[in-house]
Amino acid sequence: MGRDTIADIITSIRNADMDRKVTVRIASTNITENIVKILLREGFIENVRKHQESNKYFLVLTLRHRRNRKGTYRTILNLKRISRPGLRIYSNYQRIPRILGGMGIVILSTSRGIMTDREARLERIGGEILWVLPGMKEQKWIHEGLITESLPNGMFRVRLDNENMILGYVSGKIRRSFIRILPGDRVKIEVSRYDSTKGRIIYRIRNKDSNN
């Protein structure tokens, strides 16, 4: 399985930001350079320079920190990954979420390259939602539904109580508890605001639960 470049970027920057490091080094690729350009342009980092070492290129980012009135540091790069290799999240330009009333940004991968949500709306194109920043508590909805079909790779087809059909995948907690999910089971499923066609199965409803 290949490396998840975007996850590596987020982890490196977020950890360095939380540890109040001045700089952080990440691998230089086309995708990292495009993302870093957005971070620099939007004011989330102070500076970036390209560094070569043993025939490999790296980007050295100078991070930006804020001080509160007590003199302590407060991180501003509370990055949130949305689309993942195992669960891609796409949106058209009309449904791209607005973060903090437009103060935050969404970074998308589109047919015209990586861009912010504002640029995507201006260009009237959608794409894959890579990540959002700064820290927004992701809004989710929990529905109840019926498993109607078992699909490959741990996926299920779920009919919600409002009659909508969505795809569901089992949460890590259910996997660790070795709870079997079968057609005919009633479940609780968590649906993200970014994609209402997929959700995470978080609980299998027992018969006595449904009777109550």
Mean pLDDT by 10 residues, the chain (212 residues): 74 81 88 88 84 88 63 58 85 84 82 92 92 61 92 91 90 88 94 76 78 53
Question: Could you give the 3-state DSSP secondary structure of residue 89?
Answer: coil
Q: Which residue has the tokens 């970027």?
A: 9
Tell me the chain's radius of gyration from C-alpha atoms: 20
Distance CA 76, CA 53 (A): 29
Pair type for strands 113-116 and 80-81: unpaired
Distance CA 96, CA 125 (A): 10
Q: What pLDDT does 150 receive?
A: 94
Distance CA 46, CA 171 (A): 38
DSSP 138: P
